[in-house]
Structure formats: C-alpha cells, structure tokens
C-alpha cells in the first residue's frame, strides 16, 4: 500500500470534525487546501494544519492555499496585509522594469513569511494566464499583463520569491485561461483560437516556467486541440501540449473538481481527470459526500506522479534569511513609487 492517495482535499470549517478525521485517516489524501472558511487566527490555523497532518500520519503532508493578492487572498488583515493584485505589479513594470521585477519577488517573499509561519507548504500562484481584450474577469487583474513576455518575467520573479522563502509555487492555469469568455467556476469556457495564436500568446509563460515543481490545469476547451474536453480531462491537451510542447514535467494537479465547468458526477469527473494524465485531483469545498465520491475513484499516488510529488517537496527549505520588516518597507516603497529609506 502506498503512503497516500493522489488527491488534495479541503475541509469544512475551523477545526476537524470527528467524521472528517476518520475519513482522512482512512482515505489518506496526499495534501490539503485551506480557504477563508478555515481561517480565524494564527493558533487556530496552526492547530488545524497540524490536525490535518496528524490525521494522515504524515508530518510533511503538503498544505496549500490561494494567496495571490488582490481579490484572491485567503489571509487578510491582521493575519496578512492586503496585497495588490498582479495587474498593479504589471503596471509598475510598465513604468520601471527593474522595480516591477523586484516588487513581484518581494511580494512573494512576503507571502512566504506569512504562510510559512502558519505551516503552509505551497501557494497556488503565480497566475501565468495572458488575457485578451474582452475576456471574462475571472482572471482580470489576477493577470500581470496582456503581454506574454511581461507575464513570464513577473511570474518567474514571483515564483522565485516564494521558493526563496521556503514555500512552493503552483503555476496556473495551464495551458492558459486568459482567452476564456466565461467563468469556469460557473460554466465551461470554450476557446476557438487557432493553435498558432495559442502558441504565440498563451503557452509561452508556461513553457518558460516549465521547470517549476507544480502546476494547475485550466477547465477550458481549446477547440484547436481537443474540441470535446477541457484541458483538465483531455489526454490530448495534457500529453501533446502540457507535457509535450510546453515541456512541463512537474506535478500536475487539476483545478477544483467541483467547478461547474466539468460534467458528470464526482466519480466520473475524477476518473476523467486521471485518465487524461493529471497526477493529482483537487477538491476544495469540504463537502463530505463529494469527497467520498472523489476518493472512491482516486488511485494511490504512485509511479511518475509519486516521483513528481516527492521532487516538489524536496525543494522545500527553511528559506533564505531575510529581514521581514525591511522587506515590507522596500515593497511598500516600490508600490508607492519612492525609494526605500536606508
């Protein structure tokens, strides 16, 4: 029997229920993800994180969170400052390239300060999607820019800032959510761009950061590649584009299996995700009936997927020593357009 199943799960509230503890002990998810409903104050977060790891008997079980800045930020004051959205970093980059790159690194380093202190392993960022005019605002200001080169540069700086602070990045949403004209939380976006357009505009940031340890798929149909299935459940997109053309060989997790973009019941969705070639399924909302159905169709984490998971966790380190308050002052100064005080 392998150590865990190939899934990342959420839970319902601020503490584990007895039912959740028993379920997690039996089903052994590889990792966990927390949301605002799971977050109150620092000791509660640390205790919940410890309880999750204890339930599966693995002190190193990874715990994820979405902490981008802007509207996607699960830790809010006083747990963490309100950080700007990626688009503000892009605007700074447009005015001053070096200042923009430094600010992107610093903001991620600050995320790492906030997250590592609470026991988190990984942050589901940077967003490498490159929006087009008129696309749905589900990405919007979460994107650094509408230019692939700018997204690549700032995304790399952001990922490196997390890694420097001992937190793993998860690039998303591979191979690109920027053209979606609907919100995949609510409906299935269909992108009709040609393969040439996708290669020129959407894929480059993901290809440039293909060496990152983890990535999340897009619940988006690309008709030029596979007219029938979104990337998350498309063997063609994952094998030919994500693993092939983009060259990503890290741990590939699905976006949330409970999003309305996917069809079928939870067992069918889960089976389709693994059949397509994803390494790990992500289920976020903590609803027990759904998690039970997902777990029933989730395989043991083994083979290439297990190697990728272990390779990602092997990158974890205590983080480079940085002066947190000096880092905060420098970041604030850059965002305010002035030189930091010595």
Distance separating alpha carbons of residues 71 and 52, to the nearest angstrom:
26
272: DSSP letter: H
Tokens representing 163? Answer: 């890694």
User: In 3D, which of 85, 179, 73 has the Cα closest to residue 136?
Assistant: 179
CB atoms within 10 A of CB 278: 27
Instruction: Give me the residue label for tokens 């994803």.
Output: 278
User: Catalytic residues, which ones?
Assistant: 185, 255
Q: 164 and 211 in contact (C-beta within 8 Å)?
A: no
Closest to 136 measured CA to CA, from 89, 210, 171, 187: 187
For residues 54 and 50, give the distance between their C-alpha atoms in angstroms, rounded to a whole number.
Answer: 6
Peptide bond into 175 cis (omega under 30): yes
How many residues are given for the chain?
A: 342
């Amino acid at each position: 029997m392998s150590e865990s199943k190939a899934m990342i799960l959420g839970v319902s509230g601020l503490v584990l229920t007895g039912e959740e503890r028993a379920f997690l002990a039996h089903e052994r998810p590889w990792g966990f993800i927390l949301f605002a409903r799971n977050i109150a104050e620092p000791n509660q977060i640390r205790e919940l994180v410890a309880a999750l790891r204890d339930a599966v008997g693995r002190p190193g079980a990874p715990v994820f969170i979405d902490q981008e800045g802007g509207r996607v930020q699960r830790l809010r004051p006083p747990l963490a400052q309100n950080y700007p959205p990626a688009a503000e970093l892009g605007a700074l980059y447009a005015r001053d390239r070096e200042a923009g790159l430094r600010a992107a690194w610093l903001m991620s380093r600050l995320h790492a300060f906030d997250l590592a202190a609470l026991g988190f392993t990984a942050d589901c960022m940077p967003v490498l999607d490159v929006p087009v005019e008129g696309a749905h605002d589900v990405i919007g200001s979460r994107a650094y820019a509408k230019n692939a080169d700018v997204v690549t540069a700032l995304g790399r700086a952001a990922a490196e800032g997390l890694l420097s602070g001992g937190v793993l990045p998860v690039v998303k949403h591979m191979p690109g959510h920027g053209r979606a004209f609907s919100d995949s939380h609510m409906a299935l976006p269909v992108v009709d761009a040609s393969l040439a357009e996708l290669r020129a505009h959407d894929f480059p940031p993901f290809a440039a950061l293909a060496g990152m340890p983890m990535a999340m798929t897009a619940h988006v149909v690309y008709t030029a590649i596979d007219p029938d299935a979104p990337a998350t459940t498309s063997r063609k997109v994952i094998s030919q584009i994500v693993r092939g053309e983009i060259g990503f060989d890290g741990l590939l997790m699905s976006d949330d299996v409970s999003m309305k973009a996917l069809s079928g019941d939870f067992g069918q969705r889960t089976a389709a995700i693994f059949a397509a070639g994803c390494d790990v399924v992500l289920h976020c909302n903590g609803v027990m009936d759904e998690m039970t159905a997902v777990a029933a169709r989730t395989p043991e984490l083994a083979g290439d997927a297990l190697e990728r998971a272990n390779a990602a966790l092997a990158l974890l380190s205590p983080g480079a020593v940085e002066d947190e308050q000096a880092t905060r002052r420098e970041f604030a100064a850059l965002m305010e357009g002035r030189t930091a005080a010595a």
